[in-house]
Amino acid sequence: MSFIPDNQTTVTDDQYTPQYDNVDSAKVSDFLNDLTFDPVKLHPMAVQGGIDFLQIEDQASTALPGSGRSALPSRGWSDDLCYGTGTTYLAGLTIGGAWGMAEGLRRGASSPNLKLKLNTFLNSTTRRGPLVGNSVGVIAMMYNATNSMVGHFRGHHDPLNSAVAGAISGAIFKSTAGIKTMGTSAALCAALATAWSVGKEYVL
């Protein structure tokens, strides 16, 4: 203790004042700089090469190049199939339902009471809606399946795949109605499919 010199017997007030400003006193930086962080001591798992945190990348979208990212999540062909078919079916159902609703309102305008009107309205909606929805859903299902298969064989995705897949599904859909109808349907579906796959890059 250096407060009181050895040869002094009494204590004065000055000597009792704590010497906080003394440069000899220890500062925080003195002992912080000496610390070395040994990762082994910090956490035993660090020895094995560290902890792998949540790996979201391994579930990312398809590995095939050119598949691109869009608003609809897609991790592979099954996702494409389900989302594509689901969206198309729902869209077809809505459009067909709207068509049927318009038709039902027109027909029901001549009915005398509300119950008949409502019944006509519901009948028309539920006739057109599912018909359009089902047909469009089947085409979409075939399109997505063939698109994935063609993409798998070719090794990458591009609008040509979509066109070919659209043509095939359009042809199969009308396959019992004759060659000419098949051709028209194939051309129409191929055009729609190409427009969709090209437009998807820009819109979604």
Partner 1 sequence: MPHAAQDHSRDPCPWVILNDLGGAFVMGAVGGGIWHSVKGAKNSPRGERAIGAITAMKARAPVLGGNFAVWGGLFSTFDCTLKGLRQKEDPWNAILSGAATGGVLAARGGVKAAGISAAVGGCLLALIEGVGIAITRFMAESNRPVMPQLPEIQPPTPAP
3-class secondary structure for the chain?
A: CCCCCCCCCCCCHHHHCCCCCCCCCCCHHHHHCCCCCCHHHHCHHHHHCCCCCCCCHHHCCCCCCCCCCCCCCCCCHHHHHHHHHHHHHHHHHHHHHHHHHHHHHHHHCCCCCHHHHHHHHHHHHHHHHHHHHHHHHHHHHHHHHHHHHHHHHHCCCCHHHHHHHHHHHHHHHCCCCCHHHHHHHHHHHHHHHHHHHHHHHHHC
Q: In whole angstroms, how close is the CB of 146 to partner 1 at the nearest point?
A: 13
- 15 versus 87: smaller Cβ distance to partner 1: 87
- Residue among 166, 185, 159 at smallest CA distance from 174: 185
CB of 28 to partner 1, least distance (A): 36
Nearer to partner 1, 4 or 72 (CB): 72
State the minimum distance, in angstroms, from the CB of residue 140 to partner 1.
8
Q: Please identify, using beta-carbon distances, which residue of 5 and 73 lies nearer to partner 1.
A: 73
CB of 191 to partner 1, least distance (A): 23
CB nearer partner 1, residue 84 or residue 151: 84
Q: How far is the CB of 174 from partner 1 (least distance, A)?
A: 10
- The distance of closest approach from Cβ of residue 79 to partner 1 in the complex, given in angstroms and rounded to an integer, is 7
What does the binding site for partner 1 look like in residue numbers (CB under 8 A)?
51-52, 54-56, 59, 72-73, 79, 81-87, 89-90, 93, 122, 130, 133-135, 137-138, 141, 176
- What the block records as the tokens of 101 is 């609703």
Token code pair at residue 89: 């079916």
DSSP string, 178-204: -HHHHHHHHHHHHHHHHHHHHHHHHH-
Compare residues 1 and 56 and give the one whose CB is closer to partner 1.
Answer: 56
Closer by beta carbon to partner 1, 122 or else 150: 122
